[in-house]
Amino acid sequence: MKLRTSLKVLAAGVAVALAASSGSALAQQRVKWKMQSAFGSTLPHLGTSGVRFAKNLNEATDGRFDIKFFEPGALVPALECFDAASKGSVESCWTTPGYHTGKLGPGVSFFTTVPFGPQFGEFMAWKRDGGGDKLRNEIYAEHGLIAIDCFAIGPETSGWFKNEIKSLDQLKGMKMRFFGLGAQVMQKLGVSTQLLAAADIYPALERGVIDATEFSMPSIDQKLGFYQIAKNNYFPGWHQQISVSELLMNKKAYEALSKGNKKVLEMTLGESVLATYAETEARNPGAMNENAEKYGVKNRRWGDAELAAFEKVWFEVVKEESAKDALFKKVADNFYAFRNKYKAWGEAQYLAPTYLK
């Protein structure tokens, strides 16, 4: 009896120890990250996609991998998350490469979008299989960072203006919010550009700090209320035919993840890229029409001569920046080498919108 009792006690002790060990292992597998967003949680596509991603990741892992979404400015200023993630004060940022130009120079903007660049298929082909993402992470690694694409949006508009632009000469002396590599084109055309976060644009436009703005696409710009001040919305978005953003992560925090958490993170972000792109393409036709019919916006298109002028200046920017900025040249050379390789396929498969007369 004493032996049987002793064995029961021992078995109970082993069971308790295993349960404690199992609980400890589960606790160690649980990951909690802070994610500072550059875009507000209610901003269509840009911010709402971040909230959706965090929810999807939590559900996919049964709560074991929890990323908390923080509004712009809640932890660090909206456009200054690069340093915070680099130092590890936040594990991640829902942001875009074009916001890191203050740290890395204009070349990093290629990873978001390129003036007169490709649309979704070709751009993602360059990033994922043509060396773009590999090059981005080589650059980021020097700052203790790594990134995975987090969403993509379709073509943007190229600006909201208070008056019709009948000649590009009217741009000279204008103050305008403008993003990325396209801003350098506008600067060469005499525009004084500023990079402002979404929430700062309307007040600046209202007070006359800027005369005009571009930010994104009709469904997003409508939410920001630009139509209340500037009634002329110009197309096409020659500077942003496709825009891809990223989950920017502290490299040590990412590398500390289990193999399973890395995979579910990658898969959840991949779903976000596709879902957000489809969402923007579905919603923008209606938003564009509503801007015109309900708010009196004039949807205008640049003429071919004006688009040619923008394109000419863009390639002047590429030449000039490549001559003075090694990082810019490295990224630009990689990008255009892929475009040249892709060209035969792209041209062979091109279809005009219609061939019916």
Which pLDDT tens digit goes with each residue over 338-357?
Answer: 999 999 999 999 999 999 98
Cα–Cα distance, 211 to 231 (Å, whole number): 12
Taking only the tens place, the pLDDT of each residue in 37-49 is 999 999 999 999 9
At residue 19, does pLDDT exceed 70? no
94/267 Cα distance (integer angstroms): 16
- 298-332 in b/e form (b: 16+ CB < 10 A) is eebebeeeeeeebeebbeebbeebbeebebbbbbb
C-alpha distances out from residue 145 to 18, 115, 247, 352, Å: 38, 26, 10, 42
- The rounded distance, in Å, linking the Cα atoms of 339 and 123 is 9
Which H helix or E strand runs over 16?
helix 2-29
Q: Is the peptide bond before 236 cis (omega within 30 degrees of 0)?
A: yes
Helix boundaries (H) for 225-349: 251-255, 259-295, 304-324, 326-348
Q: What is the pLDDT of residue 26?
A: 46
Predicted model pTM: 0.90
- Read off the pLDDT of each residue in 124-152 and give the average, rounded to a whole number: 98
Rounded to whole angstroms, what are the CA distances from 276 to 17, 66, 72, 242? 47, 21, 20, 12
What is the DSSP code (8-state) at residue 247? E
Percent of the chain with pLDDT over 70: 92
Better pLDDT: 54 or 12? 54
In order of 113, 176, 215, the CA distances from 201 in angstroms are 20, 10, 8
Mean pLDDT (the chain, rounded): 93
pLDDT at 22: 42
Tens digits of residue pLDDT in 265-314? 999 999 999 999 999 999 999 999 999 999 999 999 999 999 999 999 99
Q: Which domains does the chain have, with CATH numbers?
A: 30-154+243-283 (3.40.190.170), 159-240+297-340 (3.40.190.10)
Please report, as a single letter, which amino acid is at residue 106. Answer: P
Question: Residue 6 pLDDT > 60, yes or no?
Answer: no
